[in-house]
Amino acid sequence: MIEENKDKSGKIYIVSTPIGNKDDFTVRALNSLKRCDFVICEEIKIGAITLKNINLTKELVPLNEHNEVETTREIIDRIKKGEKACLISDDGTPLIADPGNHFIKVALDEGLDIEVVPGVTSILTALVRSGFATHEFVFAGFPGRKTEDRFSDIRRLSKESRTVILLETPYRLISLLETMFKIIPNRRAYIGMNLTFPYETHHYGTFEQLYEKFKDYDLKSEFVVCFEGSEFNRIQREEGRSERPNFQRPDYSKKDDQGSGYQSRRKYEGDDRRKFGDGDRPKFGGDDRRKFGDGDRPKFGGDDRRKFGDGDRPKFGGDDRRKFESDDKPNYGGGEKKKYGNNPKRKFGSGGPSRFKKRK
């Protein structure tokens, strides 16, 4: 039999309780409940059942979303006077999607002694049973109750790269699955029902498959929903990589024998503005603005405005603005021959006509 602690220093125990299976009470949790002066719980009725399961009778003080602010001060005053209190939830680990955060914040501000007694939690129970990635995950709590809020929450979570865990009340399972089906129908998911009970069940599939499976049933079971992260990260996890791939790039830091330039150059597409030495030049597509020496010149299509010397001149189609010698006049097709007299209609420079305009 555990003796009561007789010292006058107050203390708060945050005690985890079973989520279904009564055998999940830890020895430490039992001892903490036995030595405390009163138990803080969400609801008196459920708190009494929890204590009855371990054959214990204690004063129960309700603390929930309806009275947390005003009740917190009363509890803090009692603990300051030397009393010990155990904070429990309806089941599982307190403070996770449960009332009590305001109470603990005030207790920390007051410098009170707090001891956490860990135990079972439905969140981690579902996560490890899901088979999804566990190195990173997000507990998103309860989605919004209103339809528009629920859709907004699920759209946001659908972009999450980590495994997502959701809680919801039993009678909202179908509404939740319907929302999931409309937003991410092909996302793989897991639903754990009545976890830790002898009759617990486990359901896997896409949200489309799970919605079709349960939509015609009136379910009242406690459940936890887990679903995989976004597609890219799902593939990464299947390949055994926990991080984004590290692409290897070639080493361009080494110099060639002359001490300049790269040993090997990468190939570029599009507009290539790299500077090359006197060696061979690569071929470029599109608008080529490179300057060439006196060697052979490449052929160009389209509008060619290069300046040529006295050698042979290429033939051009379309609008030809080349300069011609005064004694060398071009012939034009179309059956029309141009006459050039002493007073030609077109002005020619020393090199020939600068522009041709057909006159009628």
Predicted pLDDT at 269? 44
Alpha helices in 189-256 (DSSP H): 207-214, 231-238
Predicted pLDDT at 282? 52
Predicted pLDDT at 219? 84
In angstroms, the CA 11 to CA 195 distance is 32
Q: What is the pLDDT of residues 236-279, one digit of tens each?
A: 555 655 444 443 444 545 444 444 444 444 444 444 444 444 44
Predicted pLDDT at 131? 96
Burial (CB < 10 A; 0-12, 13-18, 19+), residue 245, is: exposed
State how beta strands 38-41 and 59-62 pair. Answer: parallel
In angstroms, the CA 258 to CA 267 distance is 22
- The answer to whether residues 119 and 39 touch, using CB atoms and an 8 Å cutoff, is no
Predicted pLDDT at 103? 96
Q: What is the pLDDT of residues 14-53, one digit of tens each?
A: 999 999 999 999 999 999 999 999 999 999 999 999 999 9
Low-confidence residues of the chain: pLDDT under 70? 1-8, 231-360
- The answer to whether residues 359 and 345 touch, using CB atoms and an 8 Å cutoff, is yes
- The answer to whether residues 86 and 15 touch, using CB atoms and an 8 Å cutoff, is yes
Predicted pLDDT at 265? 43
Q: Which pTM was predicted?
A: 0.62
Q: Can you tell me whether residue 171 is helix, strand or coil? A: helix
- The answer to whether residues 56 and 106 touch, using CB atoms and an 8 Å cutoff, is no
φ, ψ for residue 323 (rounded to 5)? Answer: -90, 130
Q: Tell me the domains of the chain and their CATH numbers.
A: 11-120 (3.40.1010.10), 123-238 (3.30.950.10)
Count of CB atoms situated within 10 Å of the CB of 302: 9
Predicted pLDDT at 351? 47
In angstroms, the CA 138 to CA 128 distance is 13
